[in-house]
Amino acid sequence: MLTLFFNVYLKIFMIFTPFFVISAFLSLTKDDSRAERQRIAIKVTVAIAVTCFALFLFGTYIFALFGITLDAFRIGAGAILFLSAVAMIQGKATISPQEPKEDVAVVPLAIPITVGPGTIGALLVMGAALKTVPDKITASLALLGAVLSVGGLLFAAGRLERFLGQQGLTILTKLTGLFVSAIAAQIFFTGLKNFLA
Supply φ then ψ for residue 28, to 5 degrees: -80, -15
* pLDDT score for 96: 62
How far CA 102 is from CA of 29, 40, 97, 99, 107, in Å, comes to: 10, 12, 10, 6, 10
Q: Which domain does 152 fall in, by range? A: 2-196
Q: What is the mean pLDDT of residues 126-155?
A: 96
* pLDDT score for 97: 60
- The residue ranking higher by pLDDT, 182 or 98, is 182
| Count of the separate structural domains present in the chain | 1
Q: Is the pLDDT of residue 94 over 80?
A: no
Give 100's pLDDT tier (boundaries 50, 70, 90): low
CA 78-172-161 angle, 5° bins: 130
d(CA 62, CA 45): 24
Give 101's pLDDT tier (boundaries 50, 70, 90): low
* pLDDT score for 131: 87
* pLDDT score for 47: 97
pLDDT digits (tens, 9 = 90+) for 25-76: 999 999 899 999 999 999 999 999 999 999 999 988 888 898 989 999 999 9
DSSP secondary structure, 31-88, as one string = TS-HHHHHHHHHHHHHHHHHHHHHHHHHHHHHHHHHT--HHHHHHHHHHHHHHHHHHH
